[in-house]
Amino acid sequence: NLSHEMAEIHTEMMQGSLAAIEMEISIALAGGTWLNVATRFERPPLQWSRASNMTFGITAAFLLITS
């Protein structure tokens, strides 16, 4: 059973509105023990610069005009 908060996050992930990245690492320590680390974070939204937007728009317009 999930807590209320985890259930909300799970629902958002299943609907595709939350893109989480998971990472798990295990590091061997002296004495035969292990350090296990797990993390999950959200991807930042795409950030396009003005120059990228203009280049994309010009290229798209060129392709539409010439096709």
Of residues 39 and 62, more confidence is placed in 62
pLDDT tens-digit series, residues 11-51: 876 776 655 677 788 889 999 899 998 887 766 667 788 89
Give the pLDDT band (50/70/90) at residue 5: confident
CA 28 to chain centre: 28
Q: How far apart are CA 19 and CA 2, in angstroms?
A: 19
Q: Which two tokens stand for residue 48?
A: 């396009």
Global pTM value:
0.34
Residues 6+ apart with CB under 8 A from 23: 38, 39, 40
Q: How far apart are CA 11 and CA 35, in angstroms?
A: 31
